[in-house]
Amino acid sequence: MFRLFRWVVCCLLVAGAGFADEPSAKPAGELYEAKVFKSPQNESQVVNYRLLIPDGYDAAPDSRFPLVLFLHGAGERGADNRRQLIHGAAQFSTPERRRKYACFVAAPQCPGGRWWSDSLEPVMELVKQLQSDYRIDSSRLYVTGLSMGGFGTFELTTRYPDVFAAAAPICGGGDPTQAKTLAALPLWVFHGDADRVVPVGFSRSMVKAIESAGGMPKYTEYPGVGHDCWTETYANPDFHAWLFAQKRAE
């Protein structure tokens, strides 16, 4: 069943192809540090990723900060450790956002020819390593992703339902038979109703299934908008306010 689901997803995606006084206004590519993570369990599993460190991190030694895990779309796969910043990531690194929502943002890059479903285990190992290396608030771990990353967001939270405080899948989809595992998770789902790459029915079916399982996901459907509904979503201050307000009970 799930193999068939993945095959459908692949076909669709292939067819579409505040602590410092003044945070830096550098481009995202300069603010996100290029890093490489090697799994201690399997050194052949390597994750190229970019990391945004909260502005003022060193000046606040007693503070812990939230972490946003950002999953890019299919077109940004590769090994250059740069393309994953093309869409969406810059919206977390604007001076205003860095002042208001000081946070870590980890943006791993999925290797070419692979899917997030193939790479989630080392990505979660990366998250654990970051928690060990930095002062990260474990009750404020968030995940969001667009297109292929939207599917990855649904699958990651399905596999690890007790890790994240909130999730925001954008123009993606998931397995409705697993909706029960997401019923207690704060979710905000986004999709354009004119999306010809990933049909809006993918998000609608997940939202309906989660509601049927007792969940209360937020859902925004953009009238007349195609595949790119992430630009409007990540630019929306209400989205950021909602995301960073979520906190997981420990």
Q: Flag whether pLDDT at 147 surpasses 90.
A: yes
Asked if 31 contacts 90 with a C-beta cutoff of 8 angstroms, the reply is: no
Nearest Cα to 247, choosing from 169, 140, 112? 140
- Beta bridge partners, 169, equal 145
Q: Give dist(CA 230, CA 214) in Å, integer.
A: 27
- Beta bridge partners, 168, equal 144
Q: Give dist(CA 204, CA 225) in Å, integer.
A: 15
Element (H, E) at 205: helix 201-212
Phi, psi of 61 (to 5 degrees): -65, -15
Categorize the per-residue pLDDT at 29 as very low, low, confident or very high, splitting at 50, 70 and 90.
Answer: low
Asked if 101 contacts 134 with a C-beta cutoff of 8 angstroms, the reply is: no
| Sole residue written with tokens 């390597």 | 46
The per-residue pLDDT for range 50-105, each reduced to its tens digit, is 999 999 899 999 999 999 999 999 999 999 999 999 999 999 999 999 999 999 99
Taking the whole predicted model, whether its pTM rises above 0.85 is answered as yes
Distances (CA, A) of 248 to 64, 140, 168, 216: 14, 6, 15, 16
Q: Flag whether pLDDT at 22 surpasses 90.
A: no
